[in-house]
A and B are shown apart, each in its own frame.
Chain A
């Protein structure tokens, strides 16, 4: 299992920083809310973590598989 991004929808206010920081994985819908696609491949992991950290609403989380 690979990591994936999840949006805390009630927290999100369509600021769009996630798309700026991670256009490979985050598109925006017609109202500016993120459309998160695909899995977070290892080469995108650092950018994904940055997007999570930089979200002004703290509305993005990276769910990483836990070691068993």
Chain B
């Protein structure tokens, strides 16, 4: 099994930011957090839903699904379960790690406020398998807080697909930490058939920030269409995590050393984009999705290696990360890796089409997106 082109880090460089990552000098403790943000106010589900809808708060795990929709689905049902997904299966990403180590109480405030609003009595926290600093930081943060509800901590496998929503629910249920077919949304029927609100750590931190700062405070940053900020990981041996208001020109975010080189936006399941195209745009979920280069979980990679060689290595790694349970992925990804490696573009296109939409999770789809974007980059240059 080939190694990832970028190894998972649990010690990223975290830059001071305007909201989520503000006041880093105070440290990650609860006392400093309360001095900075005050006590967590109570909030009703209806008010929370209305604010989330107006602010268009979307999931930060990669799919950008509206959090309001998830919460609304769960809110109408009995005995909800909340899940904080900190597993960060993508090695190149380090933003959840940054939040866990620098701002854990913002994440947990988001969970607490939502759980209190819903009357939820059970919370599950899924930790990454290969980032020990995250595990100790989250355990320390949980120990500082009063116990208000049953909170169970789980450790995900060190596998790319282990953090996928259904795979995380399998882990919580005590079964192998691998994706299974989802016949109904988790928000309708998730853990033990109960309505389950599963979100990525950054999503919970955004909810925490909204409750602590209020709607106007939250909307003070970003644009009218996309209020607030988002976390970005600039991949490197020591990755950099920074917080950027929506609407910021990418030119102001990208390191000058990247100038002129293609960038892989959205991480290992992301899309290649020329530096010129990326630098001309702004940080935006909507605009980047429309341009065919979705922001995903906010990972940007700018390898020294040419995109074709890097992609071949990456697809080899991703093929090895297949859980091997779904036939088209188990057979198709190694074949795709071989085709990309030999530069057989016809076969690459055929296989990318063949694996798309044919698995329990989006691993084959994401891998196909990556190789398609390489073809697009070739056409563009």
Contact = CB atoms under 8 A, between A and B. Distances in A.
A10 B180 contact: yes
Interface string A1-27: 000001111111110000000000000
Which of B178, B179, B328, B354 lies at the interface centre, i.e. has the most chain A CB atoms within 10 A of its CB? B328
B358 A33 contact: yes
A12 B183 contact: no
Interface string B324-359: 011111011000000000000000000000100011
A10 B166 CA distance: 13
Contacts of A35: 354, 358
Which of B180, B181, B332, B359 lies at the interface centre, i.e. has the most chain A CB atoms within 10 A of its CB? B181
A13 B332 CA distance: 14
Contacts of B358: 7, 9, 33, 35
A14 B327 contact: yes
A13 B354 CA distance: 17
A6 to B, nearest CB: 8
Contacts of A11: 181
Contact of A9 (B183, B354, B360): B360
Contacts of B325: 9-10
Contacts, number: 43
A29 B328 contact: yes
Contacts of A53: none
Interface residues of A, number: 16
Given A29-B354, A33-B358, A10 B328 contact: no
B342 to A, nearest CB: 17
B157 to A, nearest CB: 16
B173 to A, nearest CB: 15
Interface string B170-187: 000000001111010000
Contacts of B179: 10
A14 B328 CA distance: 10
A16 to B, nearest CB: 11
Interface string A45-66: 0000000000000000100000
Contacts of B323: 10
Nearest to A13: B327
B331 A9 contact: no
B310 to A, nearest CB: 27
A7 B357 CA distance: 10
B294 to A, nearest CB: 23
Given A29-B354, A33-B358, A8 B328 contact: no
Contacts of A6: 181, 183
Which of A10, A12, A30, A32 lies at the interface centre, i.e. has the most chain B CB atoms within 10 A of its CB? A10
A8 B183 CA distance: 9
B327 A33 contact: yes
Contacts of A31: 327-328, 331-332
Interface of B: 178-181, 183, 323, 325-329, 331-332, 354, 358-360
Interface pairs A-B: 5 shortest CB-CB: A9-B326, A10-B325, A33-B327, A31-B331, A8-B181
Given A9-B325, A10-B326, A31-B332, 4 more contacts: A6-B181, A11-B181, A12-B326, A35-B358
